[in-house]
Amino acid sequence: MTRHLLLTLFGIGLLASSILAGPTQEAVDDSLDLGQRMLPVPRSACFQDPGYFTWCGSMIQGDDEKYYLCYSRWPYEKKMSGWVTYSEVALAVADHPLGPYRHHSVLLHGRGKGHFDGTMIHNPHVHKFGDKFYLYYVGASDAGSFRATRLTQRIGVAVADSILGPWQRFDQPLIDVTPDSFDAALTTNPSVTYFKGRYIMVYKCQGKDGKVFHGVAFSDSPTGPFVKHSRPIFTDPRSPFPAEDPFLFTYKGKLYTILSDNKVFTDIKQALCLFESEDGVDWKLSKHAIISDRTIQWADGSTEKLGDLERPQIFFDRNGEPAVLFCAATHGKRAPGNTFNIQIPLNPTLLKP
């Protein structure tokens, strides 16, 4: 039998085998695509505290099965810039992850002179680790001017047996500044998760030269001490302020962070973009990097380009799937009556009656 005939018969055999085996299955793309999961938002899935600028928003389910939204607020008469001195963390409650939420109580406010969180509490980020609730936040003390007060910002944590409190705070910041380092001026925007046997925090910070960075720190306990990595993350030589508002989370064994981009990583101003990592130190843009350009599709069929869509936080369902994206948002300008928390559904089952 000739070599040509052998190759011909071999090829016919392969063809027959493929026909008997059925159609070839295409490779499944299992990379996380949060933008594709964003669904139309019911008008009721927006929370605004009357008389207050309403900002931030981190939600958790309580032991009573209700849903509790931790958010920042400060009075309209203090103007938008008043957050740096007058913000406090309040609590809203709902019977459904998308709301509607209603104000319940104030969780944390300034502790007074002599404390690192003397006059302001901001950026709530809530978790339940084990049988306790942990509320990470930023505190500051009035230093006489907006800029001087901003430089007093430090990250703290409060601990409670119930989301309703009482909350135990600590005398020292959880993440303080480090002299002559990239976070020598302030620390803010904390986000924490548990990954591969330890707690990881990503946070925004600022150096003495005014440049904005992000740091990462590791701990064996949700209350620290957290050991900082020696170099910043999410940097770009083209920008002194590339991004902010990190939200750190795990999904299917991988570590992710959502950032509010300053037109550096995605070329879209204030885009929500997704990064991924194997260790929390080395990060890369995810395959589906762009989550949102601030455009919202409302359930009534209308579309709106929001003025702001930042400080992202995700609530995960019992199966570990992303269920709701919470963001601070504005209709146009940051003015009284325009600021609110929006609850964007990521799971279609939430929209069923």
CA 325/CA 302 separation, integer angstroms:
19
Question: Model-level pTM?
Answer: 0.91
Torsion of CA 176, 181, 187, 193, to 10 degrees: -80
For residue 37, report the phi and psi dihedrals to the nearest 5 degrees: -85, -15
Question: In which region does residue 212 sit, left (phi positive, over 0), alpha (psi from -120 to 50) or beta (all else)?
Answer: beta
pLDDT tens-digit readout, 210-250: 999 999 999 999 999 999 999 999 999 999 999 999 999 99
pLDDT score recorded for residue 26: 52
pLDDT score recorded for residue 2: 40
29 pLDDT band (50/70/90 cuts)? Answer: low
pLDDT tens-digit readout, 87-137: 999 999 999 999 999 999 999 999 999 999 999 999 999 999 999 999 999
**pLDDT above 50: residue 4:** no
**pLDDT above 80: residue 326:** yes
pLDDT score recorded for residue 11: 42
Residue 3, C-beta contacts closer than 8 angstroms, at least 6 positions apart: none
Through-space distance between the first and last CA atoms of the chain, rounded to whole angstroms: 71
* Average pLDDT in the chain: 93
Average pLDDT over residues 314-330: 97
Q: Which tokens sit at 286?
A: 């995810």
Q: Which tokens sit at 119?
A: 């006059």
Give me the sign of the Cα torsion angle 109, 115, 118, 120. negative
pLDDT score recorded for residue 352: 83
Nearest to 73 by CA among 50, 54, 47: 54
CA 134/CA 116 separation, integer angstroms:
18
Give the SS3 label for residue 349: helix
pLDDT score recorded for residue 17: 39
CA 247/CA 315 separation, integer angstroms:
11
Average pLDDT over residues 46-55: 98
User: Domain 46-169+330-339 adopts which CATH fold?
Assistant: Tachylectin-2; Chain A (2.115.10)
